[in-house]
Chain A
Amino acid sequence: MIDVARVDFWAANGSGPFHRASVLSKLLFLAFVVAAAVSARNPYPLAVGTGMLIVLAVLAGLPWAVIGVLSLYSAVFALFYAVSLRGDGWTYALLLLKAVTPAYAVGMVIVSTPYPKIFSFLSAFLPEILAAGLFMTYRTLFLLLDMMDNFGTAIRLRGGFSPGNIVKNSANIAKGIGALLVRAVERSSRLYAVMVVRGYNGKMAETTIGTIGLNDWLPVGTGIAVLATIILWR
């Protein structure tokens, strides 16, 4: 899994044009790029579209190389799928670009938008339990990752990790997850009590849809340009 804390840092600390754009415009950008990937039947325009995204990431001061590495993660799985089709080089190129292009767009969105803002937007459309559950999951994830790091260090220091010994490692991981889960449930109960004391009434996420403004032309325009390239270059 990607380093959530690092992504969160980039999202919260940038000040480039992509960071200033609204969540609505960035999700529209994502929708256009996904639509482009879905409708593509030719790898060349898709490669041009990916190039546009990389140029935009560079101009917007986003960590374009890291996003590229993250998007290659999806290429690995696309390759597995491509192998299950007995295709030629054209097929492989098309499938890989279909995977990499939207993954790159997702990367651009997540390194420039704090997750709470995304959840806040989504909560306007999702059932309350889902919106609040997303926020709680995000909040708890960092706590759990820290606890898991400590557990990993402890298990190595105490000789609980044996490379190649799956049985022993699995048993120790299971105990760690069990302890982690019990501690996490206790923390959640405390968190719930604190939330109730502070007036929690079942609605926790601020619901903001937002509007398209001057800062939004860059993501929306780029998304439209990528989609137009795919549609016009058949």
Chain B
Amino acid sequence: MTHMHIPDGILPVWLWVSGFLIMACLLAVSLYRLRGMDMKKKIPLLGVLSAVMLVAMSLEIIPIAYHLNLSVATGILLGPSLGFVAAVIVNLMLAFLGHGGITVIGLNTILLGTEAMLGHTFFYLLTKRLSTYWRASLSTVLALLLVSLLLIAIVGISHVDPQAYSHEHGHDAAGTSSLANFAIVVLSLGVIGWIIEGAITGAVIRFISQVRPDLLAHTLHKDTCRTDPSRCDL
């Protein structure tokens, strides 16, 4: 729900160009933060988690037509920087699978990457008195809520020139934006999706914390649990 399925040619050019520029800046910051890490060891895990996100997106919760993202789970497992890189990969793949436009790759990456970054941040900020399940679930719901508001803001901004889609010979009724209606639909349907995604993310992270706690120490491919047990004390 928190990435746009808006195809090419619909959003204003300045908006999607800005999306690409912001994505490039965030990607550059992410790659800069990753410069000290052993990239060779991370690429397989990055590929796996990106593929898991794509598979999750193919799972539809039928009664409400909601598909999972697992972006927060990816952020928790990969960390914010590599989580953002995964968001770039997933959106490039989605565009080349015909699931979303090419021009909206930048904006969608910002949304999905923000979910991963916020989810990771909330997960590590929330008090450890909460169980792993509740930390992951609450992180997911909070991240999805904030990113949904960002999505509404982007759609709202995209409506600044509604006449662009109207008939040049006088069909000037076109384009009167109805952002409030859009926001109501997104937030009212979204809240069901956030709860489901939160429950599933919580259960997935709890499962991983039980069978592979080392994966939650996102300093990848280092035996962090052994060298710093507090990182795995979930």
Contact = CB atoms under 8 A, between A and B. Distances in A.
B26 interface: no
A91 B93 CA distance: 30
B208 A34 contact: no
Contacts of B89: 130, 133-134, 137
Given A91-B171, A110-B96, A170-B196, A78 B7 contact: yes
**Chain B: number of interface residues, binned into ranges:** 35 or more
Interface string B95-128: 1111111110000000000000000000000000
B197 to A, nearest CB: 9
A30 B58 contact: no
Contacts of A98: 7-10
A90 B207 contact: no
Nearest to A147: B55
Nearest to B180: A84
Contact of B48 (A140, A163, A196): A140
Contact of B47 (A30, A102, A139): A139
Contacts of B208: 178, 181-182
B39 A129 contact: yes
Nearest to A194: B44
A42 B57 CA distance: 34
B187 interface: no
A1 to B, nearest CB: 4
A148 B51 CA distance: 12
Given A88-B171, A174-B204, A174-B207, A30 B199 contact: no
Nearest to B55: A144
Scoring B13, B98, B178 by chain A CB atoms within 10 A of each residue's CB, the highest score goes to: B98
A91 B175 contact: yes
B173 A87 contact: yes
B18 interface: no
Scoring B52, B179, B182 by chain A CB atoms within 10 A of each residue's CB, the highest score goes to: B52
A90 B167 contact: yes
A86 B174 contact: yes
Interface in B110-152: none
B72 interface: no
Given A86-B175, A90-B166, A136-B48, A177 B43 contact: no
Contacts of A143: 51
Contact of A166 (B10, B51, B57, B196): B196
Interface string B165-197: 111100101111111011000000000000010
B98 A107 contact: yes
A70 to B, nearest CB: 5
24 contacts: A41-B164, A73-B98, A74-B101, A78-B7, A85-B176, A86-B176, A87-B175, A91-B167, A110-B96, A115-B96, A128-B39, A129-B46, A130-B88, A130-B89, A133-B46, A133-B50, A133-B85, A136-B46, A163-B62, A169-B61, A171-B203, A175-B207, A180-B55, A189-B44
Interface of A: 1-2, 4, 7, 30, 34, 37-38, 40-42, 70-71, 73-75, 77-78, 80-81, 84-88, 90-91, 94-95, 98-103, 106-107, 110, 115, 118, 122, 127-130, 132-141, 143-145, 148, 163-164, 166, 169-171, 173-175, 177-182, 184-185, 187-189, 191-192, 195-196, 200-202, 204
